[in-house]
């Protein structure tokens, strides 16, 4: 499972959605994710990937987040 797929799975688990519908261009707004959701998911992403993610980072799309995570784990 690649980074994007893992992120999509975490988001789907959190929102009750379907991971297969989440793509690189899916926005967090489209997913109905609010700031509390972001904080909770960031903690899960940090656990999943073993990286620290700064909450100051603002990502419009799932793909942008995936690229950022990939840069942290590379």
Residues 6+ apart with CB under 8 A from 70: 3
**HEC profile of 37-63:** HHHHHHHHHHHHHCCCCCCCCCCCEHH
Q: List, by residue number, the catalytic residues.
A: 34
């Amino acid at each position: 499972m690649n980074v994007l797929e893992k992120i999509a799975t975490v988001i789907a688990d959190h929102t009750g959605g379907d991971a297969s519908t989440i793509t690189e261009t899916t926005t967090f707004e489209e997913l109905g994710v609010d700031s509390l959701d972001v904080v909770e998911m960031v903690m899960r992403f940090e656990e999943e990937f073993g990286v620290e993610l700064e909450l100051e980072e603002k990502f419009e799309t799932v793909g942008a987040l995936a690229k950022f995570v990939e840069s942290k784990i590379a």
